Amino acid sequence: EKDYVGFASLPNQLHRKSVKKGFDFTLMVAGESGLGKSTLVNSLFLTDLHKDRKLLNAEERIHQTVEIMKHTVDIEEKGVKLRLTIVDTPGFGDAVNNSECWSTITDYIEQQFEHYFRDESGLNRKNIQDNRVHCCLYFIPPFGHG
CATH (residue range 7-139):
3.40.50
Helix ranges (H only) for 93-139 are 103-121
Please report the pLDDT score of residue 110 as a whole number: 93
Q: pTM value? A: 0.68
Tens-binned pLDDT, residue by residue, of the chain (146 aa)? 556 666 677 677 777 777 777 888 899 998 887 788 888 888 887 777 666 656 656 555 555 556 778 888 888 888 888 888 888 877 676 665 666 667 788 888 999 999 999 888 887 777 778 889 999 998 888 876 65
Q: Tell whether the torsion through CA atoms of 75, 77, 81 and 83 is positive or negative.
A: negative
- Domain ranges (residues) in the chain: 7-139
